[in-house]
């Protein structure tokens, strides 16, 4: 049994009667047909209630069958807030209702409705805050009551991806207007992307008895190679320059179009009367979708309430589907109206004022009609009419969300009682009902013209612009005020948020008379459907209450997304850059623990984690006593070449480079315009006009960017290239490094005289062409070898083999940090902060005084002329003292004067050493400073830097 209320063909365009599908809702088993949504299949089985409402926990069901109301949101395993009227059923699907405690039928939350009188608009602002701290308790209760679905903490993020698409013309909406526009654009030779959110093209034609037309047009579209159709897919956002987000299942298409045609149609709007939220109160288009798309008879006995001629078509469809139309109330007075189904009693000039509920508000039992006596007012009610359906047809608002994303503001036309479009940016077009065009012939013709224009905008101008006949207009579509507030309430304006007409009136009385304030105070329009069914009513009700025109009230902004997007679809697979050096696998083979350094991974130390401290100590001592290898490939490498290369470095860095000899390297220190230190490294002069500059691992990209940025202004004749990835770097350091290296560089004299400290040479090492830098970051004799990246492993292997007898070993970053600390070298970013300038870090020596300009120079001059407020110094502690941690504070008196920036137990010195910012009057060696270590004060002694080898004899051997 696939539902008691199934209709025979031709009804049921989407369903496949041969393929029953079983699923569960609230633990009960149901059977539907392939092509059904959860909502249509349940309705076919007589189940109209899908959810409990946000505030009062009233039973709610679908009204539009278009997938846009909070009242149809259901829970799937691991997936909250899924619109049941947009969710196709699949075999074995487990669906449960949301926002109900103890099941949909016995929701304990429904008791809240009894206290509705005590919960006026914005009630949570009016109480719960006294005594102090009371809200902490209340909030927990509130949080349990609010919220709809549940997040399953075990939900994986998987299976999402993204794809770029390009089109001359993107057409959003595959109804009459969209298909016509797409065909016209294709006729002009444009590549067209047609996006539609339904399983088949056709738009409103598919459920208004024009399936034949729809199929014919869809056939034409399918036959065109220029048109690519994405369906079902939802365009959720229009961003600047026709950048569109289109969601299809678990894929996000990012579409760049040259022009966009929005043909998204119109959203039918509900009426306001008492109990207008009951399951069984349907929009006309909702009833029609149920009948035509899903082949489901909406009910047995209906009362139709209409403010336009469309309501008569709905009544006819209901009758054709076997629903008895008991009465048709026309809000308008007597006039020339379309025919009504046999047996339907027409009440001209009448409205519905109340739907009488079944027990527990589970559905509709009857409708109460009454004569309309003035705008929003009804007279003496007629006797109730028994029915299980109340179907309304009172007008629409344009589905203009995508247009609004461009910054367009909706207006209001008082004569038509319709929202109207404003100015659109170049290349963005609107066609069909979204543009308030309703006559099919006019829509088709106008859409062809717009398709032609869009193609022309995209550079495909063919022939003459098609002519469009005059549009007969949209008069009679919208009733200006189909709202009949009732003293007993339950006359809902925003069903997502359970806001009623009295809430609007009361909010206005509380002074919230600007629409934005009203929205924020009442939360109207802030629920999952984002005002789709409440914005127009609110606008009119506010205008009515204030005695002004709706156009003067204005609307709140419609923001992206136009339809909900999940976080997963936006995230996609997530591409987080990750860089590995050429030697990465050598490190892993050697048992390294890797650590992140910016986007890179670097070896921290080479041992199991439980041997960490021991390994670091051994590695540090290896370099002090024998020889070690450090992977320095992550250091930035930047080539600066050209006639102005030296001049460029003079301006970028603080030091002097104009007279730097070829074959020598020199320290570089970069400051920003405020004089703060931002990076350091060395500049190697490889030729008169060629420098090879290093930068820190995490600073390299910023340095390169800064260089380009500055030279865009200076226009010096230099070429700047970031070659970090092109080179692999290995530092071989330690007293035995020369002996290990020598046999590998037969062509190069390595003696201290021939290749002194700070020298730079280019030579082959083990047959691999290298730039060899004699530098001393770790304070021992050492050579940095920069080789082509592809040769990294070969070079590493050659060095390890050559050093085997000397006891060579790989050395990680942690040991390097200790070694450089022993030498008093700073790490930019660790020993400096965003305000540190060179004098504070005792680096005045790195500033060339005579050059006319360098970045930050003027600031440094001003800063240097003032008394220092802090200074970076070395300090030492006795070996048994408690070990301070980096960033613990230096206290003078009771005030903070600085912090420990680096600290370690020196293996070679046998004591705790560190760098810290101290007060200038405590900066002299021998002074005692006070560190706050784990909350207790510890004395430390300021000592001169460097801690190790103060005469620098070892590095310049």
Residue 126 sits in the site that holds another protein (CB under 8 A)? yes
The window from 163-171, 393-401, 511-519, 781-789 that contacts another protein (CB under 8 A) reads 511-519
Residue 136 sits in the site that holds another protein (CB under 8 A)? yes
Q: Which of 332, 514, 625, 664 binds another protein (CB under 8 A)?
A: 514
In DSSP notation, 176-235 reads HHHHHHHHHHHHTT--EEEE-SSSSS-GGGGGTT-HHHHHHHHHHHHT-TTEEEE-S-EE
Q: Which is nearest to 847 in space by CA: 687, 680, 716?
A: 680
C-beta separation of 805 from 738 below 8 A: no
Q: Contact letters (x/-) for another protein, 578-607, by CB under 8 A?
A: x----------------xxx----------
Residue 30 sits in the site that holds another protein (CB under 8 A)? no
Nearer to another protein, 132 or 953 (CB): 132
Residue 325 sits in the site that holds another protein (CB under 8 A)? no
Give the footprint of another protein on residues 887-916 (CB under 8 A).
Answer: 887-889, 891, 895-896, 899
| Structural tokens at position 187 | 């006729």
| CA atoms within 13 A of residue 64's CA, in its CB half-sphere | 22
C-alpha distances (whole Å) from 466 to each of 181, 191, 447, 457, 776 are: 11, 19, 10, 15, 77
The window from 293-301, 568-576, 610-618, 844-852 that contacts another protein (CB under 8 A) reads 568-576
Binding residues with another protein: total (CB under 8 A): 108
Nearer to another protein, 359 or 865 (CB): 865
Residue 936 sits in the site that holds another protein (CB under 8 A)? no
Nearer to another protein, 247 or 775 (CB): 247
Q: Which of 200, 550, 568, 779 binds another protein (CB under 8 A)?
A: 568
Give the footprint of another protein on residues 842-871 (CB under 8 A).
Answer: 859, 862-863, 866
C-alpha distances (whole Å) from 459 to each of 261, 268, 428, 433 are: 15, 36, 14, 27
Residue 139 sits in the site that holds another protein (CB under 8 A)? yes
Cα 467 from chain centre = 43
Q: Which of 228, 332, 461, 520 binds another protein (CB under 8 A)?
A: 520
Give the footprint of another protein on residues 254-273 (CB under 8 A).
Answer: 254
Give the footprint of another protein on residues 639-678 (CB under 8 A).
Answer: 674-675
Q: Which of 1, 132, 223, 713 binds another protein (CB under 8 A)?
A: 132
Alpha-carbon gap, residue 198 to 540, rounded angstroms: 31
Q: How far is the CB of 887 from another protein (least distance, A)?
A: 4
Residue 633 sits in the site that holds another protein (CB under 8 A)? no
The window from 72-80, 318-326, 643-651, 701-709 that contacts another protein (CB under 8 A) reads 72-80
Nearer to another protein, 166 or 243 (CB): 243
Torsion, Cα of 827, 828, 830, 834 (10° steps): 160
H or E stretch including 83?
Answer: strand 79-83
| Eight-state DSSP code of residue 296 | B
Please work out, in degrees rounded to the nearest 5, the angle formed at the alpha carbon of residue 61 by the alpha carbons of 58 and 65.
155
Q: Contact letters (x/-) for another protein, 381-420, by CB under 8 A?
A: ------------------------x-x-------------
Give the footprint of another protein on residues 141-160 (CB under 8 A).
Answer: 142-144, 146-158, 160
Q: Which of 935, 936, 937, 953 binds another protein (CB under 8 A)?
A: 935
Q: Which of 29, 117, 715, 849 binds another protein (CB under 8 A)?
A: 117
Q: Which is nearest to 873 in space by CA: 912, 916, 835, 826?
A: 916
**Other Cβ atoms closer than 10 A to 566:** 16
Q: Which of 322, 371, 561, 591 binds another protein (CB under 8 A)?
A: 561
Q: How far is the CB of 2 from another protein (least distance, A)?
A: 28
| Eight-state DSSP code of residue 882 | P
Residue 119 sits in the site that holds another protein (CB under 8 A)? yes
Alpha-carbon gap, residue 944 to 328, rounded angstroms: 97
Q: Which of 135, 667, 714, 757 binds another protein (CB under 8 A)?
A: 135
Alpha-carbon gap, residue 97 to 42, rounded angstroms: 12
The window from 32-40, 173-181, 515-523, 641-649 that contacts another protein (CB under 8 A) reads 515-523
| CA atoms within 13 A of residue 631's CA, in its CB half-sphere | 31
The window from 76-84, 327-335, 387-395, 750-758 that contacts another protein (CB under 8 A) reads 76-84
Q: How far is the CB of 471 from another protein (least distance, A)?
A: 31
The window from 44-52, 455-463, 557-565, 633-641 that contacts another protein (CB under 8 A) reads 557-565
Indicate the length of the chain as a whole number.
957
Nearer to another protein, 26 or 317 (CB): 26
Q: Which of 39, 245, 328, 671 binds another protein (CB under 8 A)?
A: 245
In DSSP notation, 419-437 reads EE-----TTEEE-GGGGT-
**Other Cβ atoms closer than 10 A to 516:** 12
Give the footprint of another protein on residues 416-445 (CB under 8 A).
Answer: none
Q: What does DSSP say about strands 628-631 and 809-810: parallel, antiparallel, or unpaired?
A: parallel
Q: Contact letters (x/-) for another protein, 753-782, by CB under 8 A?
A: ------------------------------
**Other Cβ atoms closer than 10 A to 377:** 14
For residue 392, the cross-strand partners are 283, 305
Helices (H), 295-396: 310-320
Nearer to another protein, 428 or 684 (CB): 428
Residue 839 sits in the site that holds another protein (CB under 8 A)? no
Alpha-carbon gap, residue 354 to 503, rounded angstroms: 18
Alpha-carbon gap, residue 130 to 115, rounded angstroms: 20
Convert 297-324 to b/e letters by CB count within 10 Å (16 or more is b).
bbbebbbbbbbbbbbbbbbbbbbebebb
Alpha-carbon gap, residue 412 to 550, rounded angstroms: 7
Residue 609 sits in the site that holds another protein (CB under 8 A)? no
Alpha-carbon gap, residue 536 to 525, rounded angstroms: 10
* Burial (0-12, 13-18, 19+ Cβ within 10 Å), 115: exposed
Residue 137 sits in the site that holds another protein (CB under 8 A)? no
Angle, helix 535-546 to helix 515-522, in steps of 10 degrees: 120
Q: How far is the CB of 147 from another protein (least distance, A)?
A: 3
Nearer to another protein, 420 or 698 (CB): 698
Alpha-carbon gap, residue 236 to 238, rounded angstroms: 7
Q: Which of 243, 338, 725, 752 binds another protein (CB under 8 A)?
A: 243
Residue 886 sits in the site that holds another protein (CB under 8 A)? yes
The window from 286-294, 513-521, 585-593, 642-650 that contacts another protein (CB under 8 A) reads 513-521
Residue 885 sits in the site that holds another protein (CB under 8 A)? yes
Q: Which of 53, 72, 81, 694 binds another protein (CB under 8 A)?
A: 81
Residues contacting 758, CB < 8 A, separation 6+: 664, 665, 666, 774, 775
Q: How far is the CB of 425 from another protein (least distance, A)?
A: 11
C-beta separation of 367 from 356 below 8 A: yes
Q: How far is the CB of 560 from another protein (least distance, A)?
A: 5
Q: How far is the CB of 682 from another protein (least distance, A)?
A: 22
Nearer to another protein, 123 or 845 (CB): 123
Residue 708 sits in the site that holds another protein (CB under 8 A)? no
Residue 512 sits in the site that holds another protein (CB under 8 A)? yes
Tell me how far apart the terminal alpha carbons of the chain are, to the nearest angstrom.
Answer: 93
Q: Which of 377, 420, 566, 956 binds another protein (CB under 8 A)?
A: 566
| Eight-state DSSP code of residue 911 | E
Q: How far is the CB of 673 from another protein (least distance, A)?
A: 9
Alpha-carbon gap, residue 348 to 345, rounded angstroms: 10
Biggest CA–CA distance in the chain, Å, is: 114
């Amino acid at each position: 049994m696939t539902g008691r209320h199934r209709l025979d063909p031709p009804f049921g365009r989407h369903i496949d009667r041969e393929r029953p599908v079983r699923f569960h809702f609230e633990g009960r088993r149901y059977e539907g047909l392939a092509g059904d949504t959860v909502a249509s299949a349940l309705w076919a089985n007589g189940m109209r209630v899908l959810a409990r409402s946000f505030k009062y926990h009233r039973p709610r069901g679908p009204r539009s069958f278009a997938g846009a109301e909070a009242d149809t949101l259901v829970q799937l395993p691991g997936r909250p807030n899924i619109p049941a009227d947009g969710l196709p059923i699949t075999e074995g699907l487990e669906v449960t209702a949301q926002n109900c405690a103890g099941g949909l039928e016995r929701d304990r939350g429904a008791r809240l409705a009894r206290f509705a009188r005590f919960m006026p608009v914005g009630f949570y602002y009016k109480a719960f805050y006294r005594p102090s701290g009371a809200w902490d308790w209340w909030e927990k209760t509130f949080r349990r009551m609010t919220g709809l679905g549940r997040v399953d903490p075990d939900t994986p993020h998987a299976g999402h991806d993204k794809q770029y698409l390009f089109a001359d013309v993107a057409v959003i909406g595959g109804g009459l207007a969209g298909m016509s526009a797409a065909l016209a654009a294709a006729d002009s030779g444009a590549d067209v992307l047609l996006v539609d959110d339904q399983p088949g093209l056709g738009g409103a034609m598919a459920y208004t008895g024009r399936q034949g037309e729809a199929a014919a047009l869809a056939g034409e579209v399918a036959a065109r190679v220029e048109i690519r159709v994405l369906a079902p897919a939802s365009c959720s956002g229009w961003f600047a320059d026709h950048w569109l987000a289109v969601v299809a299942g678990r894929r996000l298409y990012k579409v760049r179009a040259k022009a966009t045609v929005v043909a998204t149609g119109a959203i039918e709007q509900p009426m306001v009367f008492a109990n207008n939220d009951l399951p069984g109160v349907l929009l006309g288009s909702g009833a029609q979708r149920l009948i035509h798309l899903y082949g489901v008879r909406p009910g047995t006995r209906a009362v139709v309430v209409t403010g336009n001629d469309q309501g008569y078509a709905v009544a006819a469809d209901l009758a054709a589907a076997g629903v008895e139309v008991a009465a048709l109330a026309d809000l308008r007075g007597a006039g020339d109206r379309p025919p009504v189904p046999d047996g339907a009693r027409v009440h001209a000039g009448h409205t519905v004022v109340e739907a009488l509920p079944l027990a527990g508000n589970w559905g509709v039992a009857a409708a109460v009609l009454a004569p309309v006596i003035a705008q929003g007012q009804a007279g003496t009610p007629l006797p109730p009419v028994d029915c299980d359906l109340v179907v309304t047809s009172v007008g629409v608002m344009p589905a203009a969300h995508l247009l609004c994303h461009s910054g367009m503001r909706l207006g209001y036309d008082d004569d038509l009682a319709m929202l109207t479009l404003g100015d659109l940016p170049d290349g963005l077009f609107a066609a069909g009902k979204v543009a308030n065009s309703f006559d099919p012939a006019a829509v088709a013709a106008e859409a062809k013209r717009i398709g032609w224009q869009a193609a022309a905008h995209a550079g495909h101008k063919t022939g003459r612009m098609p002519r469009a006949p005059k549009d007969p207009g949209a008069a009679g579509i919208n009733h200006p005020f189909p709202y009949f507030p009732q003293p007993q309430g339950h006359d809902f304006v925003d069903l997502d948020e359970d806001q009623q007409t009295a809430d609007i009136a009361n909010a206005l009385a509380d002074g919230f008379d600007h629409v934005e304030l009203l929205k924020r105070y009442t939360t109207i329009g802030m629920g999952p459907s984002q005002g789709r069914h409440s914005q127009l009513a609110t606008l009119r009700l506010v205008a009515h209450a204030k005695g002004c025109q709706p156009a003067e009230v204005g609307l709140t902004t419609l923001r992206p997304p136009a339809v909900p997007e999940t976080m997963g679809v936006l995230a996609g697979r997530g591409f987080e850059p990750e860089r590995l050096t050429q030697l990465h696998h050598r490190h892993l083979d050697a048992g390294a623990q890797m650590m992140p350094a910016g986007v890179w991974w670097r070896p921290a130390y080479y041992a199991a984690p439980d041997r960490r401290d021991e390994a670091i100590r051994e590695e540090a001592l290896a370099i002090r006593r024998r020889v070690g290898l450090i992977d320095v490939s992550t250091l930035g490498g930047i080539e600066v070449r050209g006639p102005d290369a030296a001049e460029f470095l003079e301006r970028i860095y603080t030091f002097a480079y104009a007279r730097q000899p070829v074959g020598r390297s020199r320290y570089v220190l970069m400051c920003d315009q405020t004089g703060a230190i931002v990076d350091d490294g060395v500049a190697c002069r490889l030729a008169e006009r060629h420098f090879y500059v290093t930068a820190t691992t995490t600073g390299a990209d910023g340095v390169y960017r800064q260089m380009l940025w500055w030279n865009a202004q200076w226009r010096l004749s230099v070429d700047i290239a970031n070659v970090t990835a092109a080179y692999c770097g290995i530092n071989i350091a330690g007293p035995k490094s020369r002996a290990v290296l020598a046999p590998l560089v037969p062509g190069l004299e390595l003696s201290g005289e021939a290749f002194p400290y700070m020298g730079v040479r280019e030579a082959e090492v083990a047959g691999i062409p290298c730039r060899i830098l004699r530098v001393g970051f770790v304070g021992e004799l050492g050579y940095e070898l920069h080789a082509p990246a592809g040769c990294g492993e070969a070079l590493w292997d050659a060095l390890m083999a050559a050093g085997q007898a000397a006891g060579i070993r790989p050395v990680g970053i942690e040991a390097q940090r200790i070694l450089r600390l022993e030498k008093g070298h700073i790490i930019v970013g660790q020993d400096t902060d965003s305000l540190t300038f060179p004098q504070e870090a005792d680096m005045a020596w790195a500033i060339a005084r005579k050059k006319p300009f360098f970045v930050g120079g003027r600031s440094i001059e001003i800063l240097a002329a003032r008394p220092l407020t802090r200074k970076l110094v070395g300090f030492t502690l006795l070996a048994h003292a408690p070990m301070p941690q980096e960033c613990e504070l230096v206290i003078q008196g009771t005030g903070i004067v600085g912090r420990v920036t680096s600290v370690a137990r020196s293996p070679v010195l046998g004591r705790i050493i560190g760098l810290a910012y101290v007060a200038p009057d405590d900066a002299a060696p021998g002074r005692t400073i006070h560190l706050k270590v784990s909350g207790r004060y510890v004395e430390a002694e300021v000592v001169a830097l460097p801690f190790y080898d103060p005469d620098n004899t070892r590095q310049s051997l």
